[in-house]
Chains A and B, each alone.
Chain A
Amino acid sequence: DGGITQSPKYLFRKEGQNVTLSCEQNLNHDAMYWYRQDPGQGLRLIYYSQIVNDFQKGDIAEGYSVSREKKESFPLTVTSAQKNPTAFYLCASSRGGGGQPQHFGDGTRLSIL
Chain B
Amino acid sequence: DQQVKQNSPSLSVQEGRISILNCDYTNSMFDYFLWYKKYPAEGPTFLISISSIKDKNEDGRFTVFLNKSAKHLSLHIVPSQPGDSAVYFCAASALGYGKLTFGQGTILTVHP
Q: Do residues A104 and B99 form an inter-chain contact, with CB atoms below 8 A?
A: no
Q: Is the CB of A101 within 8 A of B95?
A: no
In the assembled complex, which residues on chain B have CB atoms less than 8 Å from the CB atom of A103?
46
A48 x B99 contact (CB < 8 A)? yes
Interface residues on A, range: 20 to 34
Q: Does A62 contact B (CB under 8 A)?
A: no
Contact A31 B46 (CB under 8 A): no
Q: Which residue of A lies closest to B94 (CB)?
A: A98
CB contact between A40 and one of B102, B103, B104 (< 8 Å): that residue: B104
- A106 touching B96 in the complex, CB below 8 Å, given contacts A40-B104, A42-B89: no
Neighbour of B95 across the interface among A88, A98, A107, CB < 8 A: A98
Interface residues of A in 61-113 (CB under 8 A from B): 88, 90, 92, 94, 96-107, 109
- Contact (Cβ within 8 A) B99 A33: yes
CB closest residue in chain A, given B49: A101
Q: Which residues of B contact A96 (CB under 8 A)?
A: 98
For residue A60, CB closer than 8 A to chain B, the reply is no
Query: Is the contact region of chain A dominated by helix, strand, or loop, or is it mixed?
Result: strand
Chain B residues lying within 8 Å of A98, measured Cβ to Cβ, are: 31-32, 93-98
Closest to A100 in B: B98
| B59 at interface by CB-CB < 8 Å | no
Query: Which residue in B46, B51, B89 is a CB contact (below 8 Å) of A99?
Result: B51
- Known contacts A42-B89, A42-B105, A43-B89; is-contact A97 B43 (Cβ 8 Å): no
Bound CA–CA A100/B51 (angstroms): 10
A residues 21-77 near B (Cβ < 8 Å) are 31, 33, 35, 40-45, 48, 50, 58
Interface residues of A (CB under 8 A from B): 4, 6, 31, 33, 35, 40-45, 48, 50, 58, 88, 90, 92, 94, 96-107, 109
Known interface pairs A42-B102, A102-B98; 6 further A-B residue pairs with C-beta atoms within 8 A, sorted by A's residue number:
A4-B43, A45-B101, A97-B96, A97-B98, A99-B32, A104-B44
